Structures are given as C-alpha cells and as structure tokens.
Structure 1
Amino acid sequence: MRVKWVTGVLAAVCAAALLPGTAAGAAGDVRDVEWRDSRYAVPPVGGCPAQEVPFADGAAVVGDSVYRFTPREHVRYADVTGEGVEDALLFLDCGPRNSEYSTALVGMTTAPDGSPRPLGTVVNPEVWTTVPTGVVVRNELISVGLESWDTGRTWTEHYRWAASAAAFVRVG
C-alpha cells in the first residue's frame, strides 16, 4: 500500500511540474513560469485586446491577433508591486496579420498556485512606430526607454504600480 501511495504522490508532483503555465519549483515563483511556452491572460498590447494567449516558442495567433515576444528584449524580473516578491516584465508585440506590430511592456505575476496572472500594461504607445526599448526597476520605480522610429528621438518615462487602481500609472 505504501508503494502505491508514494507512486501516486510522485506522479502528481511530476504532472504538476509539466503543466504549462505552472511553476516547477516553489508555488508562486515567477521565474519558474515558461513565459514563452505557456497559456495565460495577456493585458492589452497595441490594438490587441486583453485575452488568453497560448504561447508556443514565443509566438501565438488568437483570432486576427498575432503575438510574439519582442526579439530584442528579454523577460525582466523585479518587485514592481512592493509586495516583496518578484514580478515579470514582458516586452510583447501584437498586431493583425500582415501588418505592423505594436510593442508594449506588460507586467505579470503569479497566483499562489504558481499560475501566471496579469498585473497590467505598463506602457503601450499609441502608435506602432514608438517602441519601448529597455527597462530599469529601482525601488519599484519602472523607468522605460522609448524610441520614435519616425523622428529618431529617445526619452524615458517612469511608472509605478498603484495598488488602489490595480494598474500601472505614469509618474513624473
């Protein structure tokens, strides 16, 4: 009987570790999420609405929306909510098929069970020719570099998580 119980526990642990969008290590650890190969809710990116997106190798198609992880940027980890745990910042591109993609920076976290959960869109430029180009987080202040492909101009915008609004807000 003990062998069956141990086998059952091991099978459950292995199955949980392999489920997309779940943590393989400690429950709720944002670094254990396979962001490029999981299904999770994504906040608005460009003209694409908030919706569930099944990423595979960093890309997905949902209806007329084509999603991809921005090729030149990596997932960044930092405590952006002030809760004492790391969150993830993802640079995502999205747009309709056969058109230009808009790029946005979105904040993600994990629920206590380790499943991905959106915090919201940090910055989502109004035109596709303005793109976020980098991010630095210090003391929960998110500094995002932006570049206009139309003018060549670059600048930095600053954002904070506002728990009262459950959203990122621009500061400064």
Structure 2
Amino acid sequence: MGKAIVVGADISDQSHEALKWTLANMYQDGDIIHLVHCFRPLQPAVGPHYSYVPTEEEQANWRRQQAKVLEENMVEAKKLKADVHYKSVLIAGDPRDEIIAYGEKEGAVAIVVGNRGRGALKRAFLGSVSSYLVHHSQNIPVVVVHCKHEEESK
C-alpha cells in the first residue's frame, strides 16, 4: 500500500497549485491523495439589536455547499491526473486543528497546502492556516506551496 498524502482542498488557486505540486513532486504510483476540505459550521451571532442562531436546515444547506466545493476539487484533481487514487474528505471544524488531526489519524507522510499570500499584518491579525500547520504539526512534515503569480508580484 502506498503513502497517504494530505492536500488541503478548496476552490482557490492556491489549493490547485498545492495539488499540482504534490502530483509533480511527491506522488508515486500507489499513493493515496487525501483531498481534505475543512469548513467552519455557521455560528450564532448576537448584536445590540439582533441575534441569529442558524437553523438545522441552514446548517445542512451550508454543509451541502461545502460538499460541492469538495466535488469541484475532485473534478479538477481528476483533470490533472486521472489515474491517481484520490480520497475526498469533508470535515466540519477549524482547518488548523482538523487537518493535523486527520493527517495523524491516516498516518500521512506529509500535509501539503497552498499559501494565500497575505501580508505580515493580515497574518498577524487573521492568522494563517499554513503558518499554523507549519508551527503545530509535530509528527507530519508540512509543505507550503506558493502560487507562481504571487511570487511574480513580489
């Protein structure tokens, strides 16, 4: 049986580049590429003049929308290389924690993610999934793939 490689999946160019990089540089026949899409469930919100609690139906619709994102990733992945064993995984939760936990559970040899190219200030306030993974994944190496167009604009 081949190696498990986790690739963070969404519909961004960065995710697409991460998958392309994985196929070109890590993948070997027999490996399994786990396309992992994490999403945060809808959260209640409270303000001075309103409150909002998502219904079960709204949560279900949100999950279906996220499942579509994963389906689109699978279609794109098969266009890149059809003869690969892909496994699509949809996880509700914080991607920073869930991607690491999933990788450990599956015995992944690497986690590969794209970089959104946020500046230092945005990273400081908003955080970065890729930065978090690099600093908190103790058992699995993390590869952060930069998009070519990001590199050219620097």
Q: Shorter chain as normaliser: what TM range? A: under 0.3
Higher alpha-carbon Rg: 1
More helix by share: 2
- Which is bigger in relative contact order (C-alpha 8 A, separation at least 6)? 2
TM-score, length basis structure 1: 0.23
